């Protein structure tokens, strides 16, 4: 089936080409400004062609959403070298917030917008494996911490949700710009990076005290 293979490969090449163009435009101009016509124009196909490979715009961005999670899980991989689970959970917080800072558009796509998640809601045979993977890394680290005697008396799921909520809160208030508006009025801090860092440091100090 050499011909079948080649055809299949060509088909997937085009799908990859569409996603490459979609990603470029998304990072250049954001979600709203990236139209199906825009993507089609860049790859020199008609808009209708995209619909032969993706159900709709949400499905295109769901693919990018998954790519973002693969990037995040890769970033988490580097944490395996951190032996102490408590140090690892601190490092995870930094990796998470840094990821959001360095890839604000991806972060919004992954954790703020719910358009890409609608694909999951409409097709219930699909699962949010990527999100689950990322959460499991956190949960396992929390459990490991508790085995060493940290965070005594906390239910691990609840504690993990709390840690996630906190770093997500910092990341999303930062990337949406709301944190910066309050900074301007309430603090003498020079820039948004300082506020983010200060808030993260306060969080680390907080969990240090639960040690």
Binding site for DNA (CB under 7 A): 3, 7, 11, 14, 34-38, 44-49, 51-52, 56-58
Q: Considering the complex, state which of residue 37 and residue 178 has its C-beta at the smaller distance from a copy of itself.
A: 178
Name the minimum Å distance from CB 112 to a copy of itself.
6
Q: Considering the complex, state which of residue 19 and residue 110 has its C-beta at the smaller distance from a copy of itself.
A: 110
The pair of structure tokens assigned to 11 is 């088909």
Q: Which does 124 bind (CB under 5 to 8 A by kind): a copy of itself, DNA, none?
A: none
Q: Which does 209 bind (CB under 5 to 8 A by kind): DNA, a copy of itself, none?
A: a copy of itself
Q: Considering the complex, state which of residue 58 and residue 160 has its C-beta at the smaller distance from DNA.
A: 58
Q: Give me the 126-145 binding string for a copy of itself, x by CB under 8 A, dash otherwise.
A: -xx--xx--xx--x------
Burial of 135 (0-12, 13-18, 19+ CB in 10 A): middle
Among 11-19, 70-78, 83-91, 156-164, the segment contacting a copy of itself (CB under 8 A): 156-164
Residue 40 near residue 82, CB atoms below 8 Å: no
* Residue 31 binding a copy of itself, by CB under 8 A: no
The tally of CA atoms less than 13 A away on the side-chain side of residue 60 is 29
| Angle subtended at Cα 118 by Cα 60 and Cα 131, rounded to the nearest 5 degrees | 85
Name the minimum Å distance from CB 41 to a copy of itself.
24
Q: Give me the 43-72 binding string for a copy of itself, x by CB under 8 A, dash otherwise.
A: ------------------------------
Q: How far apart are CA 47 and CA 50, in angstroms?
A: 6
Listed residue (105, 109, 101) closest to 75, CA to CA? 101
* Residue 5 binding a copy of itself, by CB under 8 A: no
Q: Considering the complex, state which of residue 37 and residue 198 has its C-beta at the smaller distance from DNA.
A: 37
Residue 150 near residue 210, CB atoms below 8 Å: yes
Q: How far apart are CA 138 and CA 110, in angstroms?
A: 17
Residue 198 near residue 189, CB atoms below 8 Å: yes
């Amino acid at each position: 089936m050499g011909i079948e293979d080649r055809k299949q490969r060509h088909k997937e090449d085009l799908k990859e080409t569409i996603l490459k163009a979609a990603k470029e435009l998304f990072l250049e101009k954001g979600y709203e400004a990236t139209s199906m016509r825009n993507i089609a124009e860049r790859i020199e196909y008609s808009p209708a062609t995209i619909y032969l490979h993706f159900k709709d715009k949400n499905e295109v961005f769901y693919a990018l959403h998954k790519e973002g999670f693969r990037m995040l899980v890769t970033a988490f991989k580097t944490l395996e070298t951190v032996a102490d689970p408590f140090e690892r959970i601190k490092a995870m917080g930094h990796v998470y917030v840094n990821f959001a800072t360095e890839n604000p558009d991806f972060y919004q796509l992954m954790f703020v917008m719910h358009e890409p998640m609608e694909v999951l809601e409409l097709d219930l045979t699909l699962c949010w494996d990527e999100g689950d993977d990322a959460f499991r890394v956190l949960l396992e680290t929390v459990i490991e911490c508790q085995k060493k005697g940290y965070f005594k008396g906390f239910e691990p799921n609840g504690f993990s949700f709390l840690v996630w909520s906190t770093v997500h809160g910092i990341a999303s208030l930062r990337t949406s710009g709301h944190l910066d508006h309050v900074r301007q009025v309430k603090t003498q801090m020079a820039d948004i990076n300082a506020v983010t860092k200060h808030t993260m440091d306060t969080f680390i100090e907080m969990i240090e005290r639960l040690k």
